């Protein structure tokens, strides 16, 4: 019970900081980066539900992100569909697709699942590229409208920041709730020992398909928000490289940690700004980070920070005990 109260407090503090940050920022450039950190956090949390909790890998999550962006983009540019409704339809489409392909592919394990999701991601990427009449092909889809809420138009960084972070914070809270519930425990049980989980009555296959569907749903919402924020989308944002980037966010942040997903998303969103000097070699830096983190901080940065924190607290307690 005390643990639960502490968690609510941590979340409230986190949300408060996030919502107050824009007040202390002068320029709009950094606010713009924070908007993308919000979208990437949403994606990392979605992938973390699948990878960190249920232990099922996806190398094609950028496809659901892309599907969300394109469905919303196409519906709002070619049909007179309200952007909010389009967002909902896009998320439903991604969820339906995830449900249909999840049934067969989530029977696969380990490398085979990685290959199947990789294949799915590549097929979707080709689809975005080749259906030129709908998606605009490699030259992209432009003229996507901004979201509106009554008199509020989300066409500037400040408004977008609040819109995206409200949704991201909401999804983070729901994910934290989920992780400490019956379903969260069952997912973690599947991760640790699928056979034991099944013997305990957990229908592992159905649950994996369910979480894959939820994960795709959230990813597509992120995709729609991305499309409405950018007002222009092209296939390169939704390729294999981005799937790997998402994976990197989740792993370096910390598998199974929602705040870790935020940390991973924040670092990987800001990193390119610092890595400009390396030009095309930035992918080498990602790889190196992934190797070092998996070797020396298997629980990710959030786990590493926790350990560090405990050591410091221990040191302080130790020194006060000695002084007393």
182 touches another protein by CB under 8 A: yes
* Window 240 to 279, contacts with another protein (CB under 8 A): 256
What distance in Å separates the CA atoms of residue 223 and residue 56, rounded to the nearest whole number? 22
Is 196 a residue that touches another protein (CB under 8 A)?
yes
Using rule CB under 8 A, residue 175 touches another protein? yes
**Rounded distance, CA 66 to CA 271, Å?**
22
Q: Toward another protein, which CB reaches closer, 148 or 185?
A: 185
185 belongs to the binding site for another protein (CB under 8 A): yes
Residue closer to another protein (CB basis): 177 or 294 = 177
Please count the residues of this chain forming the interface with another protein, following the rule CB under 8 A.
29
Using alpha carbons only, what angle is made at residue 191 by residues 186 and 194, rounded to the nearest 5 degrees? 75
User: What does 238-295 look like in DSSP terms, one character per residue?
Assistant: GSHHHHHHHHHHHHHH-TT-HHHHHHHHHHHHHHHHHSGGGGGGHHHHHHHHHHHHHH
**Closest CB 175 distance from another protein, rounded Å:** 7
Q: Is 191 in the site for another protein (CB under 8 A)?
A: yes
Nearer to another protein, 100 or 123 (CB): 100
Q: How far, in Å, CA of 162 to CA of 70, rounded? A: 23
CA distance readout (Å), 252 to 62, 192, 197, 265: 18, 20, 27, 9
Report if residue 201 touches another protein, rule: CB under 8 A: yes
Residue 183 interacting with another protein (CB under 8 A): yes
Residues that bind another protein (CB under 8 A): 174-175, 177-178, 181-186, 188-189, 191-193, 195-204, 210-211, 214, 256
């Amino acid at each position: 019970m005390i643990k639960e109260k502490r968690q609510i407090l941590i979340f409230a503090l986190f949300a408060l900081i996030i919502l107050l940050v824009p007040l202390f920022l002068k320029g709009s450039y950094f606010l713009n980066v924070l908007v993308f950190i919000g979208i990437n956090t949403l994606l990392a949390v979605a992938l973390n539900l699948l990878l960190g909790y249920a232990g099922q890998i996806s190398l094609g999550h950028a496809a659901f992100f892309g599907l969300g962006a394109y469905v919303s983009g196409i519906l709002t540019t070619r049909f007179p569909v309200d952007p909010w409704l389009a967002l909902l339809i896009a998320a439903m489409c991604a969820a339906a697709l995830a449900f249909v392909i999840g049934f067969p592919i989530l029977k696969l394990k380990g490398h085979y699942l990685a290959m199947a999701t990789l294949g799915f991601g590549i097929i979707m990427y080709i689809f975005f590229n080749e259906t030129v009449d709908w998606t605009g092909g490699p030259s992209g889809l432009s003229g996507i409208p901004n979201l509106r809420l009554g008199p509020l138009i989300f066409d500037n960084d400040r408004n977008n920041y609040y819109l995206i972070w409200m949704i991201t914070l909401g999804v983070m809270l729901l994910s934290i709730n989920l992780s400490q519930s019956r379903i969260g425990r069952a997912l973690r049980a599947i991760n640790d020992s699928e056979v034991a989980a099944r013997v305990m009555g957990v229908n592992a296959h159905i649950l994996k398909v369910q979480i894959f569907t939820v994960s795709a749903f959230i990813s597509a919402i992120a995709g729609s928000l991305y499309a409405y924020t950018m007002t222009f989308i092209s296939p390169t944002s939704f390729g294999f490289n981005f799937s790997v980037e998402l994976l990197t966010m989740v792993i370096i942040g910390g598998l199974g940690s929602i705040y870790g997903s935020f940390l991973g998303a924040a670092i990987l969103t800001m990193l390119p700004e610092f890595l400009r000097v390396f030009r095309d070699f930035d992918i080498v830096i990602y790889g190196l980070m992934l190797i070092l983190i998996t070797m020396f901080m298997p629980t990710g940065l959030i786990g590493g920070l926790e350990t560090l924190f405990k050591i410091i607290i221990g040191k302080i307690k130790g020194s006060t005990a000695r002084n007393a």
